[in-house]
Amino acid sequence: MKLCNAARICFAIAAGLLVVSAATPVLAKKPPPMIVPPPMPPPMPEVGLGARLINDAAVYETYVTQTSAISPAFTDAQGVADALRTGAAYEPGQLRRGAIAYAAAAALDDNTFVDDVRKAGATPEARYAMVAKIFADPKNALAFVDARGAAALAKAALAQSGMRVFDAGERVRLAAYAIQHQPWSLTQVADLDGRAATVKQLSSAFRQPSGQAHTDVDRMILGEPATPPMAAPPPYSPLVIRAVALAALAAIGQAGDDDAGHIGWLTDDYYLDHCLAEAKLSLYECIAVAKPNYEDVFCLGQHAMKDTGGCVVKSVWSTVPVDVMTHDMNIPAARIHKAAPTRKRRPT
């Protein structure tokens, strides 16, 4: 009997285990977690400057092209008036920004420099670090391969273009003496006050570039200039260094219109700002006292053209010729032998 009871208990336990076992689900093996690859990093931005910077650079080239083309062979008062409007037609701030943007575009012609900058900024993190270093000190842009070659191109672009305006201005200034044998040049300028007001209005108005200048700047940015400048040797001025820094940002796509609020300081330059302001002030003062047409020619050549071109040249630590003046007349001593035997009137 005891054995039987023991058997029944064993059977009951076994049956209970079967019931529990049947009620317990069999745990299936978990599938491996789905691995989602990280998103693709953003592509490297294209090399380029913002539309405003390109526009200002093209405005600078337009001014240089049109002003350096002014001929000293004046034949009437209207020709003088037209030339004066051309030479005076720049707003100093826009011309300064344009000059620096133009220099940056020239620096981008150095493909070795551009390639090294892009290699160093291959990732968003690297680009951010690069921007931070340039913002801390623009001279850090000179650490890239061939950065000094890019600086040489930037310096040459402004030195050569500024000298084109300076040299043309010297020819026009000397014409103020040569044309005095023409009766029309001795007559008083028509509407003196209107002419002075026009010069001031043109000096405060933003201008638009020519289509050809826009094309030329675009080609420079792509490294395909029509006539690349001859490289200029060091030292490099703060303006040139900032132009190279701007070119480095442009090489990694960090100099677009969206970045304008952050990079505007790279197109500032204390010397060029004040030099252009002085050139304008000298022009206004000259025009205020000039009456005969030949005196307007002098004001145009000396202050609208020579002074402006000289400001650009000297802002990149290049040099302009120094005139040696005679004691009694404002004529370079080297050119006295070309003067007519009769005494010329001295332009004011």
Q: What's phi and psi for 332, nearest 5 deg?
A: -55, 135
Nearest of 154, 171, 170 to residue 318 by alpha carbon: 154
Q: Which is more confidently placed, 331 or 149?
A: 149
Please, are residues 181 and 175 in contact by the beta-carbon 8 Å criterion?
A: no
Please, are residues 267 and 53 in contact by the beta-carbon 8 Å criterion?
A: yes
Summarised one tens digit per residue, pLDDT across range 121-157 is 999 999 999 999 999 999 999 999 999 999 999 999 9
- Provide the pLDDT for residue 8: 56
Residue 39 pLDDT exceeds 90: no
Q: Compute CA distances 309 → 31, 54, 217, 258, whole Å.
A: 76, 21, 20, 32
Q: What's the average model confidence in pLDDT over 193-201?
A: 96
- Cα of 323 vs its chain's centroid, Å: 30
- Provide the pLDDT for residue 343: 39
Q: What's the average model confidence in pLDDT over 321-335?
A: 51
Residue 55: pLDDT band by 50, 70, 90 thresholds?
Answer: very high
Please, are residues 101 and 58 in contact by the beta-carbon 8 Å criterion?
A: no
On the question of a cis peptide bond just before residue 235, with omega within 30 degrees of 0, the verdict is: yes
User: Roughly how many angstroms between the first and final C-alpha of the chain, as a whole number?
Assistant: 145
- Provide the pLDDT for residue 52: 96
- Provide the pLDDT for residue 345: 52
Q: What's the average model confidence in pLDDT over 87-103?
A: 98
How high is the mean pLDDT of the chain? 87
Residue 226 pLDDT exceeds 70: no
Q: Compute CA distances 8 → 18, 22, 310, whole Å.
A: 15, 21, 118
- Provide the pLDDT for residue 41: 66
Percentage of the chain surpassing pLDDT 90? 74
CA gap 219, 237 in Å, rounded = 25
Nearest of 51, 44, 114, 43 to residue 256 by alpha carbon: 51
- Provide the pLDDT for residue 339: 33
- Provide the pLDDT for residue 294: 97
Unique residue bearing structure tokens 């050549």: 301
Unique residue bearing structure tokens 């070119």: 247
What's the burial of 171, exposed, middle or buried (CB within 10 Å: 0-12/13-18/19+)? middle
Unique residue bearing structure tokens 């020519």: 210
Length of the chain: 348
Residue 332: pLDDT band by 50, 70, 90 thresholds?
Answer: very low
Please, are residues 170 and 246 in contact by the beta-carbon 8 Å criterion?
A: no
- Provide the pLDDT for residue 7: 52
Please, are residues 329 and 346 in contact by the beta-carbon 8 Å criterion?
A: yes
Summarised one tens digit per residue, pLDDT across range 273-310 is 999 999 999 999 999 999 999 999 999 999 999 999 99
What's the burial of 323, exposed, middle or buried (CB within 10 Å: 0-12/13-18/19+)? middle
Q: What's the average model confidence in pLDDT over 91-115?
A: 96
Q: Name the DSSP letter for residue 252.
A: T
Q: Which is more confidently placed, 267 or 33?
A: 267
- Provide the pLDDT for residue 31: 75
Q: What's the average model confidence in pLDDT over 180-195?
A: 96
